[in-house]
């Protein structure tokens, strides 16, 4: 009996080739955006943390501050708990770097080193929210011995804003495509059912069980969903293989890849079968005389 269901489902797909092809494309798009939404859900926080970790805060120490006090300031910054790395650049080291960059020994020309000691702070991404930036900078400014703070986070804030906007847009597109995929699967199956109305009436007249009509319909949506999942799954695996060869700052773990493939498989089956179930709701033992 299963062979009959499979044969009818397969014939139904080829009987409406164009509609089935369009349905497959829409299902694939819906599954793809579901995968992208899932990926963003798991990795957007990591990307946001990486953006915040690339922000540098430079604390310029007053010239009159002693080396011992400078070390105390460095310890105070570390103890705040928001930093992943704190580097102290002495006046001498700062002068050497500037001389190497410019090629001019300004210390000999001026007769002194005018550069202050500097503390460079890298933030801990998962411990800092975007709303904490101003508060952290104000805390550093209040530390005795710090002359000024150089911190421009506008670009980082803009990138984080774009990330949040992209996530919202992708989710909206995904919801639209999911609805469209299920609805178009429903329409395709309805079209196939209408072309086979005479056959269905004959089956009802001879007392065939209604499941012999509905099961091929379910299987048809299931097959299209599985095919869409296979296409997107293969694309994801290919993309993963390519990305693994690149020196990316954020690597995708194999566990995440497996989870994504499972999501793709479930999504394809759910969307395809869901449309078929909706199309089968109107099928009953009543003879259609149209």
> What stretch of H or E contains 89?
strand 83-89
- φ/ψ of 284, rounded to 5, equals -145, -170
Contacts of 237 (CB under 8 A, 6+ apart): 257, 261
User: Taking a C-beta distance cutoff of 8 angstroms, is the pair 170, 37 a contact?
Assistant: yes
Q: DSSP letter string over 172-184? A: HHHHHHHHHHHHH
CA dist 79 and 82 (Å) reads 8
Place of tokens 């990330």: 163
> What stretch of H or E contains 267?
helix 254-280
Q: Which long-range contacts (CB under 8 A, 24 or more apart) does 94-101 make?
A: 94/118
CA dist 260 and 266 (Å) reads 10
CA dist 53 and 85 (Å) reads 9
What are the pLDDT tens digits along the chain (290 aa)?
666 666 766 776 777 778 778 888 888 988 988 888 888 777 777 777 777 777 788 888 888 878 888 888 888 888 877 777 888 887 777 767 766 766 676 556 666 666 777 888 887 777 677 667 778 778 888 888 888 888 777 777 788 788 878 888 888 888 888 888 888 777 777 776 666 555 555 555 555 566 666 677 788 888 888 999 999 999 988 887 877 666 555 556 777 788 888 999 999 898 888 888 887 776 554 555 45
Q: How many other C-beta atoms lie within 10 A of the C-beta of residue 27?
A: 31
- φ/ψ of 84, rounded to 5, equals -95, -25
CA dist 139 and 134 (Å) reads 9
Give the predicted TM-score (pTM) of the model.
0.64
Place of tokens 């759910």: 270
Domain 56-152 has CATH 1.20.1630.10: no
DSSP E strand stretches across the chain: 56-61, 83-89, 118-123, 146-150
Closest CA to 285 of 201, 219, 183, 169: 201
- φ/ψ of 176, rounded to 5, equals -65, -45
Domain ranges of the chain: 2-49+158-280, 56-152
């Amino acid at each position: 009996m299963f062979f009959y269901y499979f044969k009818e489902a397969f014939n139904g797909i080829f009987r409406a080739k164009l509609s089935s092809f369009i349905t497959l494309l829409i299902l694939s798009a819906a599954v793809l955006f579901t995968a992208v939404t899932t990926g963003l859900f798991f990795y957007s926080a990591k990307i946001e943390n990486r953006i915040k970790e690339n922000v540098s805060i430079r604390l310029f120490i007053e010239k009159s501050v002693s080396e011992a006090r400078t070390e105390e300031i460095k310890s105070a910054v570390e103890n705040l708990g928001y930093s992943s790395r704190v580097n102290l650049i002495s006046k001498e080291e700062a002068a050497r770097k500037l001389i190497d960059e410019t090629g001019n020994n300004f210390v000999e020309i001026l007769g002194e080193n005018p550069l202050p000691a500097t503390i460079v702070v890298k933030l801990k991404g998962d411990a800092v929210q975007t709303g904490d930036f101003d508060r952290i900078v104000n805390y550093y400014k209040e530390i005795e011995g710090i002359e000024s703070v150089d911190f421009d986070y506008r670009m980082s804030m803009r990138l984080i804003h774009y990330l949040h906007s992209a996530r919202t847009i992708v989710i909206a597109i995904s919801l639209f495509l999911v609805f469209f995929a299920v609805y178009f699967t429903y329409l395709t199956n309805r079209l196939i059912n209408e072309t086979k109305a005479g056959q269905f009436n004959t089956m009802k007249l001879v007392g065939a069980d209604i499941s012999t009509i509905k099961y091929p319909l379910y299987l048809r949506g299931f097959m299209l969903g599985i095919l869409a999942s296979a296409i997107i799954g293969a694309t994801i695996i290919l993309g993963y293989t390519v990305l693994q060869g690149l020196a990316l700052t954020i690597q995708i773990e194999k566990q995440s890849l497996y989870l994504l493939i499972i999501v793709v498989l479930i999504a394809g089956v759910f969307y395809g079968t869901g449309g078929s179930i909706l199309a089968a709701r109107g099928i009953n033992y009543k003879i259609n005389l149209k």
